[in-house]
Amino acid sequence: MRSSKLRVAVFVFPCLLLAAAPEGAEIYKAHCASCHDAGLPRIPTREALKAFSPEIVNRALVSGAMRFQGSDVSVGERHAVAEFVTAKKFEPDAGAQGMCAATLSAKPGVVFSGALDGHLRAYSTKDGAILWDYDTVHDFETVTMVKAKGGSLDAAGPAVAGGMLFVNSGYGYFNAIPGNVLLAFSVDSR
Ligand code: HEC
């Protein structure tokens, strides 16, 4: 008797999880429609939002013009509403690998570029050749002895100062690789 009850509980639980999955139309009605269905100037209408890609809508909600509205909804709800307004499937990894997402930094002859695959690369400004490539996606012993790891490079680019190159690694937004390190390189890799 007891074991059959247990089995029922196990089967019911995943169904509840599915039922609780966020529904794009509902989220749109609750969080977006008051403005986007109001026919006000400057605000893209429901129809106009269809021209966007779900990734761009998601990005607007995370760090763009809609970041305050986006902060009211969960990650899952954000993806669901992005799919709903664009009527397209959200592909978080589309074209992300190796994309030079972070701001570029340059010094004479060299451009430093951090990419979402976690690599920090130095390119020649003469012919674009890769002069140096460092994979930041691994564990680090830090100066404070706190265990840390690198991840995707995005947002602020690497900084060059006093013969040193500084970069933060571990940009976990948009399904990129999370981490938590600030790395400092000297010119001769000390
Ligand atoms: C308080 C009113 C308001 C709400 C609520 C709102 N928006 Fe917006 N939205 C705007 C305005 C105003 C703009 C135009 C912003 C601009 O041009 O700078 C805009 C622009 C956008 C854009 C275009 C951004 C771009 O970079 O061009 C997207 C996509 C968007 N909204 C999606 C949403 C979604 C999805 C929601 C619900 C989660 C939402 N908005 C909720 C007012 C709102």
79 Cβ closer than 6 Å to some ligand 1 atom = no
Q: What is the Å distance from ligand 1's center to 63 Cα?
A: 12
**Fold of the 2-86 domain:** Cytochrome Bc1 Complex; Chain D, domain 2 (1.10.760)
Nearest to 187 by CA among 166, 156, 157: 166
In the chain, CATH 2.40.10.480 covers: 105-186
| CA atoms within 13 Å, Cβ hemisphere of 39 | 0
Q: What is the pLDDT of residues 142-156, one digit of tens each?
A: 666 666 777 666 666
* Residue 110, helix vs strand vs coil: strand
pLDDT at position 16 is: 44
Ligand 1 site-directed mutation target among 36, 42, 81, most atoms within 8 Å of CB: 36
- What percentage of the chain reaches a pLDDT higher than 70? 43
In the chain, CATH 1.10.760 covers: 2-86
165 Cβ closer than 6 Å to some ligand 1 atom = no
- Residue 163 per-residue DSSP state: T
The pLDDT confidence band at residue 163, using thresholds 50, 70 and 90, is low
* CATH, domain range 105-186: 2.40.10.480
Sign of the CA dihedral running 76, 78, 81, 83: negative
